[in-house]
Structure 1
Amino acid sequence: MLLDYDNGVLESIKNVYGDSYHSFLEAITRPSRRLYVRVNRLRTSVGEVIDTLRSRGIAVFQDEELEEAIYFYVEGPYNIELYNYDNVVVADKYAAESVYLGSNLYIPGIVKCPNSVRKGSEVVIVTQKGLPIAEGISMINCNEIRYLKRGIAIEVTKSVYKAPKIVELPEYKAGLIYPQSLAAMYVAKALDPKPNDIVIDTCAAPGGKTGHIVEYTMGKAFIIAFDHSKKRLEEMKRELERLKHTPFIEMWRADSRFLHIDFSWIKADKIIVDPPCTSLGVRPKLYDTKRYRDVISASRYQLQFLKSASKILKIGGTIVYSTCTITIEENENVIESIIESDKCLKVVDTGIARGSKGIATSYSHNYTRFHPHIHDTTGYFIAKLTKIC
């Protein structure tokens, strides 16, 4: 596992965790023991999904608090060795993190596949840093890979960790479940959208929180999902089509830092601001490189999204701000910067009983944090703001 963090990033982590920062660093290199998915309650019930999975011998359980959340236990770790150096397939970072948990390797996730690998060959899958993460059987001739765009390249037979292959479950293909971390599911709960609310998701792609709002309101809210990336919006559209959510959502391409200028007519009841961040809380990390300048740059960027969101929010409306990172700079400091500059915004309690409170700042008792080494979740931050004037 390679975590390449400079002294500034390490100090930022220590400011949160003190002497236990090593425990945090160790935790983000392995997956949570629970792999969560969200049941699409607009189309089925939690009980039906659990029953059909268990009928096929798959062990699945309902979360203790969130009704729509179900989980599978993650087994491992197991040892993977480079037993056949000639047949080594290299996966990109995103694909490798899924393969690490037992997912098959798909063609778009391949960085390098030797021409010697033929259909039926036994192979070892490694990260771009050379770490072996899985063994498998090739489903393709690698000398033909340039002609192929999608589909399974390597069927994984053994991986460092093992969990059900979510995207290959019939329930996934039918749009009945959506892979989402437990912590991220609490964003919709904190937002608490109601039927007929105008709800804005400012950095919406890939659509997990947008889809959750649809299900939370049973399709009865007016939802606009913004993202600046055409490619990510296209991917989001495909995912929401799988869930059968597209009739309930408007998807618009725009830079959400300027919604108050480009869409000044919007007056929203509820807004999600889940901006780009340093993702230090995402796990498992097989390798990661961060510099303190990334933290500072992200925090300045994040504040711009909040400033714009506040200007299109109705009086009495709610903003929920969330990140999958753990630095104070990107979390508590961003919130306290916005309320210092915008006196019409007030920090209120998230209403989430799970997790921990924020780090010692003026409003820390109102924030929610999830810590990988304490709660065995993604590292996550959630804050809730209301507009009072």
Structure 2
Amino acid sequence: MSGGLSPTHHVIVQALLSRGPLKEKDLHSMFEDLTKKSPGTDRRLFDAFILAINKALTCANFELRACIDQYDGHVYYGVVNTVSDEQSKLGTKYTVPQIAFYKAIIEAIVQDDTANGFISTIGALNLNLDGQVTIGTSSESQGGQQQCQGSQPQVPYAFKSFNLSQKEKTLNELVRDSWLNLTTDGDVRLGVKSFLDLRSWFRSNDVPSCQVCNEAGIKAELCKNENCTVRIHQYCLKQLFSQIKAAKVCPSCGTSWPFTIPKAEYVETEDDNGPRQSQQPTGSKGKKRRANMIVEDDGVGCSNQDDLNEHRESQHDNERVRRRTRLRRTHEADIAGPTASQSSSAVTDLRRVTRKSSRPT
């Protein structure tokens, strides 16, 4: 596996194996520290770097894969096993009932017609594992003998004895290992490893896909037309409707699709990969805070870029009115016969105002 790989390749692979999936920006930062090359400007070099790793991992049935976490929209990289057989199952630390419990949670999440992408913790712990009995019995059949058609499969004792406390322990382990994710509201969602490993499983189990990217639409928005089955990821919607002239309608049935950029997109700081499309870069932090306050003002007014531009134009108009007022007052003071000192001050003010008024607005 090490043939053709440099020490830099080994560091990346070791980091992914020991630390688990990494965000794209973290992997890019590591790559830049090791190679002194930026993935942004040397994209071909980065792609060739990943390809070299995958060629070396092929012999061990592993792959360095990228995925998008459908809940936060971030890209992650991780090493996954590309073969699912009896031998590979020996490498897992989870027992058969634990795997069956995980599979039951995944099925409950992906089969949700609302595409909310989660199940409550209570709902997860109360899942019945009888439907997963084939996991425990398929490998136990000997000599190719199959159960009689129409007969009820016998539930293994390990499944029956898999009590609530064991489910809670398993759930915590799955969250710790990034197979699942637990929100502050007590909801269970898919973890990054699930998005990395289960791509083929999603397709083989006919999980509805996103209309834009064709990946499984676990967490997505649905078309408002009840007769339409289109679902689109939030980040795909942003890409689809990013153009000002783009019609916000369902790409399949043409039904109006209400879409607004969340407020969080306006208030993100410079630490997050630069300014968003809806937030214009400004010269100082004070100006940025004022722009954010304009957008967040009671949820009305400047809720989008057009409103923000109207607000700025209004500010320019007010400034023009103030300039004209100062000019008129200065002119009236000259007519009234100002003193020498007042005249000098008026001339100075007039020159200052003239210079300001000559600047483009």
Common fold: TM-score over 0.5: no
User: Rg bigger for which structure?
Assistant: 2
TM-score (norm 1): 0.23
TM-score (norm 2): 0.25
User: Which of the two has greater helix per residue?
Assistant: 2
